[in-house]
């Protein structure tokens, strides 16, 4: 008979249809018991349709029977909800004082830089009325699921994504919901999406300090918040307001600040031009009482890749530094 490790290793090769992440990474393997005669495997049913469960049953049968010495395999499903299965180490929300400063872009770049480091990453698009994550990642697939929840959609880099945009009949449909409904959608994304095992879940918040960011802060176990701003912002006041809400009212640490559209590199000379005025990074970091994690330049190639749904093809040295800084501040705040 194979060992438990060998069985688990084989189960890690079984990809769940609809999301294409493995049974083990989705944390669906609840128990493996090996006796002289047979192997019993207990899987969680969370968000899996009946059809998917049947498919997985026969796939796991085939896979495990191929291991040497296996005679009998018994597979059953335990009724479980996604929230009982999910194991997320750090939940990081990206916030801004106002819209259009590149909050979703920073959320996307944070996820990409961490995924490239080999971490398991997901993005929860909590901007219910202005979702832009799927477009940036070029995702149009519809999430599958059952009565207990939804499977996220996987990006090309392997980032799990859930957004209201993926559930709307048409990508361009407007979501005109009132506060309570928006709050409900966000908590559903947290509780009813099968995220499985993740190192980082990045939450793209709607702009400002209104209802929706408040719901996220109240109902999600955030490790901390990243505040995004641009040099256009007239006062550090907007940042201070966001910081106040997070830190003082909700007791959530500010992990750091990111300045977007910091400067433009002139293609001919390589000279940095601060077209929106002098960088306010130091001032904002001070206002937030947190480190400056990144300064992202205005990059026409980045804008182009976002429009094309190809943000994952963006490379820049500063992204590596961003990932390093993020990992460091998260570790420092989780301790
Ligand atoms: N640093 C940048 N360089 C080039 N384009 C950018 C940059 N930051 C943002 N953009 C452009 O602005 C758009 C809006 O950014 P987005 O992240 O959606 O803003 P927000 O989420 O704060 O409303 C992006 O799709 C992108 O095209
Ligand atoms: Mg946005």
d(CA 250, CA 302): 34
CATH 3.40.50.300 fits 84-334, yes or no: yes
* Confidence band, pLDDT 50/70/90 cuts, at residue 178: low
Bridge partners of residue 39, in order along the sequence: 34, 73
**Ligand 1 in reach of 231 Cβ (< 6 A):** no
**Ligand 1 in reach of 103 Cβ (< 6 A):** yes
Ligand nearest to C-alpha 318: 1
99 vs 119 pLDDT, higher one = 119
**Burial track 238-248 (b if 16+ CB lie within 10 A, e otherwise):** bbeebbebbbe
- Specify whether the CB–CB gap between 202 and 103 falls below 8 A: no
Length of the chain: 335
**Of 135, 93, 104, nearest in space to 296 by CA:** 104
150: left (phi over 0), alpha (psi -120 to 50) or beta: beta
pLDDT at position 234: 65
Residue whose CA is at the smallest distance from ligand 1 atom 5: 303
Residue whose CA is at the smallest distance from ligand 1 atom 8: 102
**Ligand 1 in reach of 27 Cβ (< 6 A):** no
Q: How far is the CA of 5 from the centre of ligand 1 (A)?
A: 45
Q: How far is the CA of 161 from the centre of ligand 1 (A)?
A: 19
Q: Quick check: 246 pLDDT over 70?
A: yes
Residue whose CA is at the smallest distance from ligand 1 atom 9: 102
pLDDT 10s digits, 36-73:
889 999 999 999 999 999 999 999 999 999 999 998 99
**Ligand 1 in reach of 135 Cβ (< 6 A):** no
Q: Quick check: 261 pLDDT over 80?
A: yes
Q: How far is the CA of 99 from the centre of ligand 2 (A)?
A: 7
Q: Quick check: 157 pLDDT over 70?
A: yes
pLDDT at position 239: 79
250 vs 305 pLDDT, higher one = 305
Tell me the domain boundaries of the chain. 4-80, 84-334
pLDDT at position 28: 98
175 vs 252 pLDDT, higher one = 252
Q: How far is the CA of 297 from the centre of ligand 1 (A)?
A: 11
pLDDT at position 235: 57
Q: Which residue among 99, 101, 305, 306 is best mutated to probe the pocket of ligand 1, counting the most ligand atoms within 8 A of its Cβ?
A: 306
Q: Which residue among 100, 101, 105, 303 is best mutated to probe the pocket of ligand 1, counting the most ligand atoms within 8 A of its Cβ?
A: 105
**Ligand 1 in reach of 105 Cβ (< 6 A):** yes
pLDDT at position 280: 85
- Given this chain, do its domains 4-80 and 84-334 carry the same CATH topology? no
Q: How far is the CA of 205 from the centre of ligand 2 (A)?
A: 7
Range with the poorest average pLDDT among 45-54, 164-173, 187-196: 164-173
DSSP E strands: which ranges in 175-279?
197-204, 224-229, 254-265, 272-273
278 vs 13 pLDDT, higher one = 13
Residue whose CA is at the smallest distance from ligand 1 atom 23: 100
Other Cβ atoms less than 10 A from the Cβ of 300: the count is 9
4-80 sits in which CATH class?
Answer: alpha beta
**Ligand 1 in reach of 296 Cβ (< 6 A):** yes
d(CA 74, CA 1): 14
Q: Quick check: 131 pLDDT over 60?
A: yes
Q: How far is the CA of 311 from the centre of ligand 1 (A)?
A: 11
Residue whose CA is at the smallest distance from ligand 1 atom 2: 298
Range with the poorest average pLDDT among 36-50, 52-66, 155-169, 236-250: 236-250
pLDDT averaged over the chain?
91
């Amino acid at each position: 008979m194979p060992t438990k490790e060998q069985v688990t290793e084989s189960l890690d090769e079984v990809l769940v249809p609809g999301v294409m992440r493995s049974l083990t990474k989705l944390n669906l393997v609840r128990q493996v018991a090996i006796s002289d005669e047979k192997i019993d495997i207990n899987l969680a049913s969370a968000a899996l349709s009946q059809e998917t469960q049947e498919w997985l049953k026969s796939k796991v049968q085939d896979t495990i029977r191929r291991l040497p010495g296996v005679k009998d395999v018994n597979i059953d499903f335990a009724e479980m909800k996604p929230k009982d299965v999910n194991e997320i180490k750090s939940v990081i929300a990206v916030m801004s004082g106002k819209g259009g400063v590149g909050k979703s872009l920073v959320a996307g770049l944070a996820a990409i830089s961490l995924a490239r480091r080999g971490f398991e990453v997901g993005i929860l698009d909590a901007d219910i009325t202005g979702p832009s994550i799927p477009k940036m990642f070029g995702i149009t697939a519809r999430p599958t699921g059952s009565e207990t929840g939804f499977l996220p959609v996987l990006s090309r880099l392997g980032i799990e994504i859930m957004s209201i945009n993926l559930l709307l009949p048409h990508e361009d449909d407007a979501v005109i919901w009132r506060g309570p409904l928006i709050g409900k959608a966000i908590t559903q994304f947290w509780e009813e999406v099968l995220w499985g095992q993740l190192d980082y879940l990045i939450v793209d918040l709607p702009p400002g300090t209104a209802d929706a960011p408040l719901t996220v802060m109240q109902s999600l176990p955030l490790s901390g918040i990243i505040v995004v701003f641009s040099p256009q912002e007239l006062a550090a006041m907007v940042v201070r307001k966001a910081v106040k809400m997070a830190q003082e009212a909700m007791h959530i640490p500010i992990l750091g600040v990111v300045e977007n559209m910091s400067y433009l590199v002139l293609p001919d000379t390589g000279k940095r031009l601060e077209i929106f005025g002098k960088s306010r990074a130091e001032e904002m970091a001070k206002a937030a009482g947190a480190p400056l994690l990144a300064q992202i330049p205005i990059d026409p190639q980045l804008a182009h890749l976002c429009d094309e749904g190809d943000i994952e093809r963006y490379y820049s040295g500063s992204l590596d530094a961003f990932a390093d800084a993020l990992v460091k501040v998260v570790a420092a705040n989780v301790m």
